[in-house]
């Protein structure tokens, strides 16, 4: 339910995430008239800015990150009029008092839904929540949004969850995984469960294996300090890729409800085959980009991006896992993600088995097996690769063909950014697309043995040139199973 009144407070209000994603998303929702009639956005940061200073920053950010066709001077001014900024030094009690005063300084403050978006380092989550509680602004309408990473391993994730949980009950904690807000990712549920033709095939009976690729062309840029402590496994696999895997592999819930979908995803995470140290050595590959060419432009190595060498952090991961349950037993799930790859593409490929018998003479194995490519980004859609007869009188010549669906063309609308949907869900109080505590912890439970083995192993991440598809060992991971990575569509 959309509240009438809302105060949306962003800790880290001048940060990259706020300026690049959160404020443009809120601007779009404002433009559509979807935000509560009476709302304010409060940016909290260490910067010495007054409200106008922050508005100028946000205006510049909108001009950079919003499509020019959606920028209207009147709408921008109206939106900026909702913005306030507070300089807050967490150690200074007076600053917290000023936050309290600001939140109370509105008509009917008790009725306002207060959202606290913590776009700051996770080590601050607990302390900020505690302070909010102490100054008396956490009431039964208040909710908190946590950006990933939630901790850097299971123990630290539990600490964060415990600390936040002392102030906010679980139903008021929104742990963002922005992949769940992507249109194409939500559509996965619809594709699977609002159609009949896929689900009977969606199991080890007919699926040979599944591939999930999230490749990026960007490097770590200015985020080196964070990234070097995280690495690709923590930054991408533990959350985004595992969430995609969950949506591919989960059982159908009876309805889409705030707990039902999350219950089913949790079961998938709990069914992932635990990795022993030997499995880690055998079934995972880590890489790190060296200098190379991306889109024809020379780019520096990871060490040069960081400004020092000697790091053991991976910027690429490929791995093989399995969902150990009735539906998926024996079906490998191959996951890979990396920075500075040859192209930006996220895609899930379900590779089906070949037909059990070939009735066309000489055609066994002549065409590749059926594959469903679910295109998560940048060109959201689906492509189904099939076999067809080549036209002509010369008998049965089989050829691969494809059926193509692109959402932008099918619906002829702008596809909203993931944050637009997710921020509206927070304001409305719908946690379905957010990660529940048990999911985050189950994901860490599975990830941790890999981290531990890597930390104790003398091996280093394998080198790959920027602008390629990763280290050769990633290809070998599939080739030794008689498979290959599918070229992204």
Cα–Cα distance measured from residue 306 to residue 73, given in angstroms and rounded to the nearest whole number: 39
Nearer to ligand BG6, 417 or 441 (CB): 417
Q: In the stretch 331-350, what mask flags binding to ligand BG6 with x, by CB under 6 A?
A: ---------------x----
By CB under 6 A, tell whether 183 contacts ligand BG6: no
Residue number with the smallest Cβ distance to ligand BG6:
235
- Beta-carbon neighbour count of residue 165 at 10 Å? 16
CB of 377 to ligand BG6, least distance (A): 6
- Whether 465 and 289 have beta carbons less than 8 Å apart is answered as yes
By CB under 6 A, tell whether 216 contacts ligand BG6: yes
Nearer to ligand BG6, 208 or 235 (CB): 235
Nearer to ligand BG6, 17 or 86 (CB): 17
How much of the chain is helix, strand and coil, in % rounded to 5? Answer: 40, 25, 35
Cα–Cα distance measured from residue 351 to residue 448, given in angstroms and rounded to the nearest whole number: 29
- Whether 249 and 323 have beta carbons less than 8 Å apart is answered as yes
Catalytic residue among 240, 282, 308, 385: 240
Within 8 A by CB and 6+ apart from 407, the residues are 183, 184, 187, 380, 381, 415
- Whether 444 and 238 have beta carbons less than 8 Å apart is answered as yes
By CB under 6 A, tell whether 235 contacts ligand BG6: yes
Whole-Å CA distances, 441 to 18, 178, 486: 26, 18, 31
Q: Is 177 annotated as a binding residue?
A: no
Query: Which 3 state secondary structure label does DSSP give 488?
Result: coil
Nearer to ligand BG6, 234 or 437 (CB): 234
Nearer to ligand BG6, 235 or 469 (CB): 235
Q: Is 216 annotated as a binding residue?
A: yes
Nearer to ligand BG6, 6 or 242 (CB): 242
By CB under 6 A, tell whether 314 contacts ligand BG6: no
Q: For the chain, how many residues are written? A: 489
Task: Name the β-bridge partners of 386.
Answer: 401
Q: In the stretch 343-382, what mask flags binding to ligand BG6 with x, by CB under 6 A?
A: ---x------------------------------------
Q: Is 273 annotated as a binding residue?
A: no
Q: Helix 437-456 to helix 242-249 angle, to the nearest 10 degrees?
A: 120
HSE-CB of 361 using CA atoms within 13 angstroms: 2
By CB under 6 A, tell whether 420 contacts ligand BG6: no
Nearest by Cα to 215 from 482, 486, 470, 479: 470
Instruction: Decide if 65 is catalytic.
Output: no
Q: Is 139 annotated as a binding residue?
A: no
CB of 222 to ligand BG6, least distance (A): 12
Q: Is 265 annotated as a binding residue?
A: no
Cα–Cα distance measured from residue 125 to residue 337, given in angstroms and rounded to the nearest whole number: 28
CB of 30 to ligand BG6, least distance (A): 22
- Whether 304 and 292 have beta carbons less than 8 Å apart is answered as no
Q: Is 235 annotated as a binding residue?
A: yes
Total site size for ligand BG6, rule CB under 6 A: 4
Rule CB under 6 A: which residues touch ligand BG6? 178, 216, 235, 346
Residue numbers in the known binding site for NADP(+) are 148
Residue numbers in the known binding site for substrate are 178, 182, 216, 235, 339
**What is the set of active-site residues?**
240
Residue numbers in the known binding site are 148, 178, 182, 216, 235, 339
């Amino acid at each position: 339910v959309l509240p009438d009144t809302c105060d949306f407070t962003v800790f880290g209000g001048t940060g990259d995430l706020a300026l690049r994603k959160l404020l443009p998303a809120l601007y779009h929702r404002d433009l559509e008239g979807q935000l509560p009639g009476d709302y304010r956005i409060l940016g909290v940061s260490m910067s010495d800015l007054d409200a106008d200073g922050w508005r100028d920053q946000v205006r510049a950010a909108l001009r950079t990150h919003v499509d020019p066709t959606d920028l209207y001077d009147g709408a921008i001014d109206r939106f900026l009029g909702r913005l306030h900024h507070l300089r807050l030094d967490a150690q200074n009690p007076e600053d917290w008092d000023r936050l309290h005063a600001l939140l109370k300084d509105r008509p009917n403050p008790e009725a306002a839904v207060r959202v606290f978006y913590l776009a700051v380092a996770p080590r601050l989550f607990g302390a900020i929540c505690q302070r909010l509680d102490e100054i008396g602004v956490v009431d039964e309408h208040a909710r908190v949004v946590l950006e990933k990473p939630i901790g850097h391993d299971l123990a630290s994730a539990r600490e964060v969850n415990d600390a936040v949980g002392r102030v906010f009950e679980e139903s008021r904690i929104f742990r963002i995984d922005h992949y769940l807000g992507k249109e194409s990712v939500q559509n996965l549920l619809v594709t699977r469960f609002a159609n009949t033709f896929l689900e009977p095939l969606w199991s080890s009976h007919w699926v040979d294996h599944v591939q999930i690729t999230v490749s990026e062309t960007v490097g770590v840029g200015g985020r080196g300090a964070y990234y070097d402590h995280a690495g690709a496994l923590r930054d991408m696999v533990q959350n985004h890729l595992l969430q995609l895997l969950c949506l591919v592999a989960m059982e159908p819930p009876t309805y889409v409800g705030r707990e039902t979908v999350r219950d089913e995803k949790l079961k998938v995470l709990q069914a992932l085959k635990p990795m022993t140290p030997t499995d880690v050595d055998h079934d995972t590959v880590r890489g790190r980009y060296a200098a190379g060419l991306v889109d024809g432009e020379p780019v520096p190595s990871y060490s040069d991006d960081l400004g020092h060498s000697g790091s053991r952090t991976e910027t690429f991961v490929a791995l093989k896992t399995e969902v150990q349950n009735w539906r998926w037993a024996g079906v490998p799930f191959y996951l890979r993600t990396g920075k500075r790859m040859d192209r930006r593409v996220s895609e899930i490929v379900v590779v089906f088995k070949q037909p059990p018998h070939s009735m066309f003479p000489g055609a066994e194995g002549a065409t590749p097996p059926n594959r469903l490519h679910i295109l998560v980004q940048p060109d959201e859609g689906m492509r189904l690769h099939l076999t067809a007869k080549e036209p002509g009188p010369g008998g049965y010549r089989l050829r691969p063909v494809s059926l193509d669906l692109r959402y932008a063309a099918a619906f002829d609308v702008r596809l909203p950014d993931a944050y637009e949907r997710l921020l509206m869900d927070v304001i409305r109080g719908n946690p379905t697309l957010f990660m529940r505590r048990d999911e985050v912890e189950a994901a860490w439970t599975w990830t941790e043995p890999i981290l531990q083995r890597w930390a104790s192993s003398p091996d280093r991440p394998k080198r790959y040139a920027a602008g390629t598809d990763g280290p050769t060992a990633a290809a070998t991971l599939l080739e030794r199973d008689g498979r290959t990575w599918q070229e992204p569509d």
